[in-house]
Amino acid sequence: MSNKDKLKATAKNIEGKTKEALGEITGDSALKAEGKAKQVEASAMHMKENVKDKAKGVLDAIKNKIDKD
């Protein structure tokens, strides 16, 4: 996961947690729901980058195996 993408996902998660908390405090259910949606989006971003990292690891392992043979 690139640091830039990791930072974006983390920032989106923090934004979501903040909006959810403000919605809870103010009783604004729409703001609370928006915050939860941002957190879900951040989680999906993290998962996507984790899959990319795993795929790269597998491809690197295959390449190393081929290079050794």
Q: What is the value of pTM for the model shown?
A: 0.79
For residue 1, name the pLDDT band (cuts at 50, 70, 90): low
Q: Domain count of the chain?
A: 1
The 8 Å CB, 24+ separation contacts for 21-26 are none
pLDDT of residue 42: 97
In angstroms, the Cα distances linking 17 to 2, 10, 27, 42 are 23, 11, 15, 11
| Domain range enclosing 21 | 3-68
Q: Are 23 and 30 in contact (CB under 8 A)?
A: yes
Q: What is the pLDDT of residues 11-66, one digit of tens each?
A: 999 999 999 999 999 999 999 999 999 999 999 999 999 999 999 999 999 999 89
